[in-house]
Structure 1
Amino acid sequence: MSGAFPIGAHPGRPGSAAEEADRAAIRRLIEAWGFARDSGDWDALAATFQPDGRIAVSWFDGPFADFVETLRARRGAAFSKHVMCGSRAALDGDRALVETDVLLGMRGPVDGAEMIGQTTMRFLDRVERRGDGAWRVLRRDAIYDHDWMVPALPGGVAPAPDAGDAPGHRFLAWRLRRAGRTVPADLPGPGSEGEAALRAGGRAWLEAGG
Protein backbone atom coordinates (compact mmCIF):
# COMPACT_ATOMS: atom_id res chain seq x y z
CA MET A 1 0.00 0.00 0.00
CA SER A 2 1.18 3.55 -0.69
CA GLY A 3 0.12 7.18 -0.60
CA ALA A 4 -1.05 9.44 2.21
CA PHE A 5 -3.89 7.09 3.07
CA PRO A 6 -4.14 3.49 1.83
CA ILE A 7 -7.69 3.14 0.59
CA GLY A 8 -7.17 0.62 -2.19
CA ALA A 9 -6.94 0.90 -5.96
CA HIS A 10 -10.59 1.86 -6.44
CA PRO A 11 -11.76 3.75 -3.32
CA GLY A 12 -15.08 4.70 -4.92
CA ARG A 13 -16.07 1.16 -5.84
CA PRO A 14 -17.81 -1.24 -3.47
CA GLY A 15 -15.97 -4.34 -2.32
CA SER A 16 -17.31 -7.78 -1.52
CA ALA A 17 -20.43 -8.17 0.59
CA ALA A 18 -18.27 -9.17 3.55
CA GLU A 19 -16.04 -6.12 3.14
CA GLU A 20 -19.01 -3.77 2.88
CA ALA A 21 -20.47 -5.34 6.03
CA ASP A 22 -17.17 -4.69 7.81
CA ARG A 23 -17.13 -1.08 6.63
CA ALA A 24 -20.69 -0.57 7.86
CA ALA A 25 -19.82 -2.07 11.24
CA ILE A 26 -16.83 0.25 11.55
CA ARG A 27 -18.95 3.30 10.69
CA ARG A 28 -21.44 2.31 13.39
CA LEU A 29 -18.57 1.94 15.84
CA ILE A 30 -17.27 5.44 15.07
CA GLU A 31 -20.75 6.94 15.44
CA ALA A 32 -21.40 5.04 18.67
CA TRP A 33 -18.29 6.60 20.21
CA GLY A 34 -19.59 10.11 19.60
CA PHE A 35 -23.04 9.43 21.03
CA ALA A 36 -21.65 7.66 24.10
CA ARG A 37 -19.02 10.36 24.73
CA ASP A 38 -21.49 13.23 24.64
CA SER A 39 -24.34 11.53 26.51
CA GLY A 40 -22.16 10.29 29.34
CA ASP A 41 -22.87 6.62 28.64
CA TRP A 42 -19.54 5.49 30.04
CA ASP A 43 -20.09 1.75 29.72
CA ALA A 44 -21.03 2.13 26.05
CA LEU A 45 -18.03 4.41 25.54
CA ALA A 46 -15.65 1.88 27.09
CA ALA A 47 -17.05 -0.83 24.81
CA THR A 48 -15.91 1.03 21.67
CA PHE A 49 -12.22 0.38 22.43
CA GLN A 50 -10.16 -2.73 22.93
CA PRO A 51 -9.24 -3.43 26.59
CA ASP A 52 -5.65 -2.33 25.85
CA GLY A 53 -6.73 0.63 23.72
CA ARG A 54 -5.06 4.03 23.87
CA ILE A 55 -6.16 7.53 22.90
CA ALA A 56 -4.22 10.76 22.26
CA VAL A 57 -6.27 13.97 22.10
CA SER A 58 -5.60 17.55 23.13
CA TRP A 59 -5.72 17.08 26.90
CA PHE A 60 -5.08 13.35 27.30
CA ASP A 61 -2.58 10.77 26.05
CA GLY A 62 -2.80 7.33 27.59
CA PRO A 63 -4.94 4.24 28.18
CA PHE A 64 -8.53 4.61 27.03
CA ALA A 65 -9.81 3.11 30.30
CA ASP A 66 -8.20 6.02 32.17
CA PHE A 67 -9.67 8.47 29.67
CA VAL A 68 -13.18 7.16 30.39
CA GLU A 69 -12.70 7.35 34.16
CA THR A 70 -11.40 10.92 33.88
CA LEU A 71 -14.48 11.92 31.88
CA ARG A 72 -16.74 10.19 34.38
CA ALA A 73 -15.25 12.26 37.20
CA ARG A 74 -15.50 15.54 35.26
CA ARG A 75 -19.00 15.09 33.83
CA GLY A 76 -20.96 18.34 33.62
CA ALA A 77 -17.97 20.71 33.56
CA ALA A 78 -18.98 22.15 30.15
CA PHE A 79 -21.16 21.22 27.19
CA SER A 80 -19.44 19.60 24.23
CA LYS A 81 -20.72 17.84 21.13
CA HIS A 82 -18.71 15.55 18.85
CA VAL A 83 -20.29 15.35 15.40
CA MET A 84 -18.76 12.38 13.60
CA CYS A 85 -18.79 13.24 9.90
CA GLY A 86 -17.56 11.27 6.90
CA SER A 87 -14.93 8.58 7.31
CA ARG A 88 -12.79 6.43 5.06
CA ALA A 89 -11.25 3.09 5.92
CA ALA A 90 -8.50 0.85 4.60
CA LEU A 91 -9.10 -2.79 5.54
CA ASP A 92 -6.56 -5.59 5.71
CA GLY A 93 -7.91 -8.77 7.29
CA ASP A 94 -8.88 -8.06 10.89
CA ARG A 95 -7.32 -4.60 10.91
CA ALA A 96 -8.56 -1.27 9.57
CA LEU A 97 -7.05 2.19 9.43
CA VAL A 98 -9.88 4.73 9.64
CA GLU A 99 -9.86 8.52 9.25
CA THR A 100 -12.93 10.48 10.35
CA ASP A 101 -13.78 14.17 10.09
CA VAL A 102 -15.04 15.48 13.43
CA LEU A 103 -16.68 18.75 14.45
CA LEU A 104 -16.24 19.46 18.16
CA GLY A 105 -18.63 22.12 19.41
CA MET A 106 -18.55 23.60 22.90
CA ARG A 107 -20.32 26.14 25.03
CA GLY A 108 -19.49 27.00 28.60
CA PRO A 109 -17.89 29.45 31.00
CA VAL A 110 -14.22 30.39 30.79
CA ASP A 111 -13.11 32.57 33.70
CA GLY A 112 -16.77 33.37 34.29
CA ALA A 113 -17.46 34.47 30.70
CA GLU A 114 -19.72 32.35 28.50
CA MET A 115 -17.90 31.17 25.36
CA ILE A 116 -18.96 29.28 22.26
CA GLY A 117 -16.61 27.67 19.77
CA GLN A 118 -15.86 24.86 17.38
CA THR A 119 -12.83 22.75 16.50
CA THR A 120 -12.50 20.97 13.15
CA MET A 121 -10.40 17.87 13.59
CA ARG A 122 -9.79 14.34 12.36
CA PHE A 123 -9.53 11.07 14.21
CA LEU A 124 -7.00 8.58 12.85
CA ASP A 125 -8.00 5.21 14.28
CA ARG A 126 -6.40 1.80 14.28
CA VAL A 127 -9.39 -0.53 14.49
CA GLU A 128 -9.09 -4.23 15.17
CA ARG A 129 -11.36 -7.28 15.20
CA ARG A 130 -10.49 -9.94 17.73
CA GLY A 131 -11.93 -13.27 18.89
CA ASP A 132 -15.50 -12.13 19.56
CA GLY A 133 -15.85 -10.81 15.99
CA ALA A 134 -16.52 -7.19 17.00
CA TRP A 135 -14.57 -4.25 15.60
CA ARG A 136 -13.12 -1.99 18.31
CA VAL A 137 -10.62 0.87 18.31
CA LEU A 138 -7.11 -0.07 19.39
CA ARG A 139 -5.60 3.40 19.09
CA ARG A 140 -6.97 6.85 18.32
CA ASP A 141 -4.94 9.95 17.48
CA ALA A 142 -6.38 13.39 16.81
CA ILE A 143 -5.24 15.81 14.10
CA TYR A 144 -6.36 19.41 14.61
CA ASP A 145 -7.25 21.36 11.45
CA HIS A 146 -8.91 24.62 12.56
CA ASP A 147 -10.75 26.19 15.47
CA TRP A 148 -12.45 29.35 16.65
CA MET A 149 -14.08 30.73 19.78
CA VAL A 150 -16.07 33.88 20.52
CA PRO A 151 -18.08 35.27 23.44
CA ALA A 152 -21.54 33.71 23.51
CA LEU A 153 -23.14 37.00 24.53
CA PRO A 154 -22.71 40.50 23.02
CA GLY A 155 -20.08 42.56 24.77
CA GLY A 156 -18.25 39.57 26.19
CA VAL A 157 -14.49 39.50 26.63
CA ALA A 158 -12.77 37.96 23.61
CA PRO A 159 -10.53 34.90 24.09
CA ALA A 160 -6.78 35.50 24.25
CA PRO A 161 -5.12 32.33 22.93
CA ASP A 162 -1.38 31.69 23.04
CA ALA A 163 0.25 32.60 19.73
CA GLY A 164 2.74 29.79 20.33
CA ASP A 165 0.07 27.18 19.70
CA ALA A 166 -0.62 25.90 16.20
CA PRO A 167 -3.67 27.52 14.52
CA GLY A 168 -5.49 24.20 14.39
CA HIS A 169 -6.04 24.04 18.15
CA ARG A 170 -5.14 27.49 19.49
CA PHE A 171 -8.54 28.38 20.99
CA LEU A 172 -9.21 24.86 22.23
CA ALA A 173 -5.87 24.84 24.05
CA TRP A 174 -6.63 28.22 25.63
CA ARG A 175 -9.97 27.02 26.98
CA LEU A 176 -8.61 23.74 28.31
CA ARG A 177 -5.63 25.36 30.02
CA ARG A 178 -7.92 27.86 31.71
CA ALA A 179 -9.75 24.82 33.07
CA GLY A 180 -6.50 23.46 34.50
CA ARG A 181 -5.62 20.91 31.85
CA THR A 182 -2.25 20.45 30.16
CA VAL A 183 -2.21 20.79 26.36
CA PRO A 184 0.95 20.46 24.23
CA ALA A 185 1.71 23.33 21.86
CA ASP A 186 2.73 21.00 19.02
CA LEU A 187 -0.35 18.83 18.55
CA PRO A 188 -0.57 17.30 15.05
CA GLY A 189 -2.03 19.65 12.46
CA PRO A 190 -2.58 19.54 8.69
CA GLY A 191 0.65 18.88 6.84
CA SER A 192 2.70 18.74 10.03
CA GLU A 193 5.50 16.33 10.88
CA GLY A 194 3.22 14.97 13.57
CA GLU A 195 0.53 14.08 11.05
CA ALA A 196 3.08 12.47 8.73
CA ALA A 197 4.41 10.33 11.59
CA LEU A 198 0.91 9.20 12.56
CA ARG A 199 0.10 8.21 9.00
CA ALA A 200 3.37 6.34 8.56
CA GLY A 201 2.83 4.49 11.83
CA GLY A 202 -0.73 3.64 10.86
CA ARG A 203 0.29 2.27 7.47
CA ALA A 204 3.03 0.14 9.04
CA TRP A 205 0.59 -1.25 11.61
CA LEU A 206 -2.00 -2.05 8.95
CA GLU A 207 0.46 -3.81 6.67
CA ALA A 208 1.91 -5.82 9.57
CA GLY A 209 -1.47 -7.42 10.18
CA GLY A 210 -1.89 -8.89 6.72
Structure 2
Amino acid sequence: MTTTNSEDRLALRELVENWALWRDAGDWDRFASVWDPAEGWMTATWFQGPAAEFIAVSREGFDSGVSILHFLGGHTSDIIDDRAIAQTKMTINQRASIDGVEVDVVCTGRFYDFCRRNDGEWKVVRRQPIYEKDRLDAVDPTVRLHLDRGLLERFPTGYRHLAYVQTKAGFTVKTGLPGLTGETVRCLYDEGAKWLAGSDTAGDPH
Protein backbone atom coordinates (compact mmCIF):
# COMPACT_ATOMS: atom_id res chain seq x y z
CA MET A 1 0.00 0.00 0.00
CA THR A 2 1.11 3.56 -0.70
CA THR A 3 2.07 5.47 2.43
CA THR A 4 -0.14 8.45 3.29
CA ASN A 5 2.11 9.86 5.99
CA SER A 6 1.62 13.62 5.96
CA GLU A 7 5.06 14.21 7.50
CA ASP A 8 6.71 12.44 4.57
CA ARG A 9 4.74 14.53 2.10
CA LEU A 10 5.74 17.74 3.86
CA ALA A 11 9.37 16.63 3.95
CA LEU A 12 9.36 15.90 0.22
CA ARG A 13 7.79 19.26 -0.54
CA GLU A 14 10.44 20.95 1.61
CA LEU A 15 13.16 19.00 -0.20
CA VAL A 16 12.00 20.31 -3.58
CA GLU A 17 11.63 23.86 -2.29
CA ASN A 18 15.09 23.76 -0.75
CA TRP A 19 16.50 22.63 -4.11
CA ALA A 20 15.11 25.71 -5.85
CA LEU A 21 15.85 28.23 -3.10
CA TRP A 22 19.40 27.13 -2.37
CA ARG A 23 20.39 26.62 -6.01
CA ASP A 24 19.07 30.00 -7.15
CA ALA A 25 20.61 31.78 -4.14
CA GLY A 26 24.01 30.19 -4.73
CA ASP A 27 23.96 28.46 -1.33
CA TRP A 28 26.07 25.59 -2.63
CA ASP A 29 26.82 23.74 0.61
CA ARG A 30 23.15 23.45 1.51
CA PHE A 31 22.24 22.76 -2.11
CA ALA A 32 24.54 19.73 -2.02
CA SER A 33 22.61 18.39 0.98
CA VAL A 34 19.40 17.77 -1.01
CA TRP A 35 21.05 15.11 -3.19
CA ASP A 36 21.65 11.44 -2.53
CA PRO A 37 25.42 11.49 -1.85
CA ALA A 38 26.13 8.29 -3.78
CA GLU A 39 23.71 8.34 -6.71
CA GLY A 40 22.42 11.89 -7.17
CA TRP A 41 21.87 12.58 -10.88
CA MET A 42 20.62 15.71 -12.66
CA THR A 43 19.21 15.97 -16.15
CA ALA A 44 18.62 19.42 -17.63
CA THR A 45 18.50 20.79 -21.16
CA TRP A 46 22.15 21.86 -20.90
CA PHE A 47 23.56 19.29 -18.44
CA GLN A 48 23.27 15.57 -17.74
CA GLY A 49 25.43 14.02 -15.05
CA PRO A 50 26.19 13.43 -11.38
CA ALA A 51 24.86 15.94 -8.87
CA ALA A 52 28.36 16.92 -7.73
CA GLU A 53 29.26 17.96 -11.28
CA PHE A 54 25.96 19.81 -11.66
CA ILE A 55 26.69 21.77 -8.50
CA ALA A 56 30.16 22.68 -9.78
CA VAL A 57 29.02 23.90 -13.20
CA SER A 58 26.02 25.70 -11.71
CA ARG A 59 28.36 27.53 -9.37
CA GLU A 60 30.64 28.50 -12.26
CA GLY A 61 27.68 29.84 -14.19
CA PHE A 62 26.32 31.70 -11.17
CA ASP A 63 29.69 33.35 -10.55
CA SER A 64 29.98 34.39 -14.21
CA GLY A 65 26.52 35.98 -14.29
CA VAL A 66 24.34 33.26 -15.84
CA SER A 67 20.77 34.03 -14.75
CA ILE A 68 18.58 30.92 -14.40
CA LEU A 69 15.82 31.04 -11.79
CA HIS A 70 13.12 28.55 -10.74
CA PHE A 71 9.60 29.09 -9.45
CA LEU A 72 7.46 26.30 -7.99
CA GLY A 73 3.75 25.54 -8.00
CA GLY A 74 1.58 22.57 -7.10
CA HIS A 75 3.15 19.42 -5.70
CA THR A 76 2.22 15.79 -5.29
CA SER A 77 4.10 12.67 -4.26
CA ASP A 78 3.66 8.91 -4.40
CA ILE A 79 5.37 7.15 -1.50
CA ILE A 80 6.04 3.48 -0.87
CA ASP A 81 8.18 2.71 2.18
CA ASP A 82 11.47 4.60 1.74
CA ARG A 83 10.96 5.54 -1.90
CA ALA A 84 8.99 8.32 -3.53
CA ILE A 85 8.22 9.97 -6.83
CA ALA A 86 7.64 13.69 -6.32
CA GLN A 87 6.14 15.87 -9.04
CA THR A 88 6.18 19.65 -8.76
CA LYS A 89 4.90 22.26 -11.18
CA MET A 90 7.67 24.70 -12.03
CA THR A 91 8.87 27.42 -14.36
CA ILE A 92 12.45 27.96 -15.47
CA ASN A 93 13.28 31.62 -16.13
CA GLN A 94 16.47 32.56 -17.94
CA ARG A 95 17.69 36.01 -18.96
CA ALA A 96 20.25 36.14 -21.73
CA SER A 97 21.30 38.03 -24.85
CA ILE A 98 20.54 36.91 -28.40
CA ASP A 99 22.47 38.76 -31.09
CA GLY A 100 22.73 41.78 -28.82
CA VAL A 101 19.07 41.75 -27.75
CA GLU A 102 18.33 41.12 -24.06
CA VAL A 103 15.62 38.47 -23.70
CA ASP A 104 13.68 36.50 -21.11
CA VAL A 105 12.72 32.89 -21.78
CA VAL A 106 10.16 31.13 -19.58
CA CYS A 107 9.64 27.36 -19.67
CA THR A 108 6.75 25.71 -17.82
CA GLY A 109 6.73 22.09 -16.78
CA ARG A 110 7.28 19.72 -13.87
CA PHE A 111 10.16 18.45 -11.81
CA TYR A 112 9.89 14.66 -11.72
CA ASP A 113 12.04 13.49 -8.81
CA PHE A 114 13.08 9.97 -7.83
CA CYS A 115 13.61 10.24 -4.06
CA ARG A 116 14.82 7.89 -1.34
CA ARG A 117 14.88 8.13 2.45
CA ASN A 118 18.34 7.52 3.92
CA ASP A 119 18.90 7.63 7.68
CA GLY A 120 15.50 9.24 8.13
CA GLU A 121 16.02 12.01 5.55
CA TRP A 122 14.61 12.25 2.03
CA LYS A 123 17.14 12.92 -0.76
CA VAL A 124 16.90 13.37 -4.52
CA VAL A 125 18.34 10.36 -6.36
CA ARG A 126 17.42 11.59 -9.84
CA ARG A 127 15.77 14.71 -11.17
CA GLN A 128 14.20 14.65 -14.63
CA PRO A 129 12.32 17.78 -15.65
CA ILE A 130 9.30 17.47 -17.92
CA TYR A 131 9.13 20.39 -20.37
CA GLU A 132 5.55 21.31 -21.29
CA LYS A 133 5.70 24.71 -23.06
CA ASP A 134 7.85 27.81 -23.29
CA ARG A 135 8.04 31.32 -24.71
CA LEU A 136 10.62 33.99 -25.50
CA ASP A 137 10.27 37.76 -25.16
CA ALA A 138 12.56 40.72 -25.65
CA VAL A 139 13.04 42.60 -22.36
CA ASP A 140 12.48 45.83 -24.28
CA PRO A 141 9.18 45.25 -26.14
CA THR A 142 10.06 47.93 -28.70
CA VAL A 143 13.03 45.90 -29.97
CA ARG A 144 12.43 43.50 -32.86
CA LEU A 145 13.95 40.04 -32.36
CA HIS A 146 14.82 37.89 -35.37
CA LEU A 147 15.14 34.14 -34.75
CA ASP A 148 16.82 31.46 -36.81
CA ARG A 149 13.85 29.21 -37.62
CA GLY A 150 16.08 26.29 -38.55
CA LEU A 151 17.79 26.36 -35.16
CA LEU A 152 14.52 26.88 -33.30
CA GLU A 153 12.83 23.91 -34.94
CA ARG A 154 15.65 21.52 -34.06
CA PHE A 155 14.18 21.24 -30.57
CA PRO A 156 10.87 19.87 -29.16
CA THR A 157 8.05 22.34 -28.68
CA GLY A 158 8.13 21.99 -24.89
CA TYR A 159 11.53 23.68 -24.54
CA ARG A 160 12.22 25.04 -28.02
CA HIS A 161 12.85 28.65 -27.02
CA LEU A 162 14.81 27.73 -23.91
CA ALA A 163 17.05 25.50 -26.01
CA TYR A 164 17.47 28.29 -28.57
CA VAL A 165 18.65 30.76 -25.93
CA GLN A 166 20.98 28.22 -24.33
CA THR A 167 22.46 27.15 -27.67
CA LYS A 168 23.11 30.78 -28.55
CA ALA A 169 24.82 31.14 -25.16
CA GLY A 170 27.20 28.31 -26.04
CA PHE A 171 25.57 25.36 -24.27
CA THR A 172 25.09 21.97 -25.91
CA VAL A 173 21.38 21.25 -25.47
CA LYS A 174 20.03 17.70 -25.34
CA THR A 175 17.17 16.85 -27.65
CA GLY A 176 14.44 14.31 -26.99
CA LEU A 177 13.71 15.23 -23.36
CA PRO A 178 10.21 14.45 -22.05
CA GLY A 179 7.31 16.79 -22.78
CA LEU A 180 3.66 16.84 -21.80
CA THR A 181 2.80 13.86 -24.01
CA GLY A 182 4.60 11.25 -26.08
CA GLU A 183 6.63 8.08 -25.75
CA THR A 184 9.50 9.69 -23.82
CA VAL A 185 7.34 10.89 -20.95
CA ARG A 186 5.46 7.57 -20.90
CA CYS A 187 8.81 5.80 -20.48
CA LEU A 188 9.64 8.17 -17.61
CA TYR A 189 6.37 7.32 -15.85
CA ASP A 190 7.17 3.63 -16.30
CA GLU A 191 10.60 4.16 -14.75
CA GLY A 192 8.94 5.93 -11.84
CA ALA A 193 6.56 3.03 -11.26
CA LYS A 194 9.47 0.59 -11.32
CA TRP A 195 11.38 2.76 -8.83
CA LEU A 196 8.47 2.66 -6.41
CA ALA A 197 8.24 -1.11 -6.89
CA GLY A 198 11.86 -1.57 -5.83
CA SER A 199 13.97 -1.25 -9.00
CA ASP A 200 17.72 -1.29 -8.40
CA THR A 201 18.15 1.98 -10.30
CA ALA A 202 16.18 5.18 -10.78
CA GLY A 203 15.50 4.48 -14.44
CA ASP A 204 18.00 5.23 -17.20
CA PRO A 205 18.94 8.93 -16.91
CA HIS A 206 21.51 8.67 -19.70
Report the TM-score, using the length of structure 1 for normalisation.
Answer: 0.87
* Distance (whole Å) between structure 2 residues aligned to residue 158 and residue 32 of structure 1: 37
Contact 2:105–2:165 (Cα < 8 Å) also in 1: no
Q: Deviations over 1:141-176 (max 9, x none)?
A: 011000000111112424445213111000000011
Report the TM-score, using the length of structure 2 for normalisation.
Answer: 0.88
> Aligned to 1:190, which of 161, 180, 190?
180
Using the TM superposition, give the Cα deviation of residue 116 of structure 1 relative to its aligned residue in structure 2, in angstroms.
1.3
In the alignment, what sits opposite 2:72?
84
Q: Deviations over 1:97-120 (max 9, x none)?
A: 111111112223233210012100
- Please tell me whether residue 129 in structure 1 is matched to residue 117 in structure 2: yes
In the alignment, what sits opposite 1:56?
43
Amino acid at match of 1:157: L
* Distance (whole Å) between structure 1 residues aligned to residue 105 and residue 166 of structure 2: 12
In the alignment, what sits opposite 1:104?
92
Contact 1:149–1:159 (Cα < 8 Å) also in 2: no
Distance 1:79 1:156, change over 3 A: farther
Amino acid at match of 1:46: A
Gaps of 5+ in 1: 2-7, 9-13
In the alignment, what sits opposite 1:45?
31
Gaps of 5+ in 2: 200-206
Q: SS of the residue aligned with 1:120?
A: strand
Amino acid at match of 2:95: R
Identity %: 32
Contact 1:142–1:188 (Cα < 8 Å) also in 2: yes
Contact 2:24–2:68 (Cα < 8 Å) also in 1: yes
- Please tell me whether residue 166 in structure 1 is matched to residue 152 in structure 2: no
Q: SS of the residue aligned with 2:90?
A: strand
In the alignment, what sits opposite 1:152?
139
* Distance (whole Å) between structure 2 residues aligned to residue 48 and residue 163 of structure 1: 35
* Distance (whole Å) between structure 1 residues aligned to residue 147 and residue 20 of structure 2: 27
- Please tell me whether residue 139 in structure 1 is matched to residue 129 in structure 2: no
Contact 1:78–1:109 (Cα < 8 Å) also in 2: no
RMSD: 1.7
Q: SS of the residue aligned with 1:71?
A: helix
The total of aligned residue pairs comes to: 194
Q: SS of the residue aligned with 2:70?
A: strand
Using the TM superposition, give the Cα deviation of residue 79 of structure 1 relative to its aligned residue in structure 2, in angstroms.
2.1
Q: SS of the residue aligned with 1:208?
A: coil
Q: Deviations over 1:8-52 (max 9, x none)?
A: 6xxxxx94xxx1011001101100111011111111111111112
In the alignment, what sits opposite 2:56?
69
* Distance (whole Å) between structure 1 residues aligned to residue 47 and residue 198 of structure 2: 27
In the alignment, what sits opposite 2:195?
205
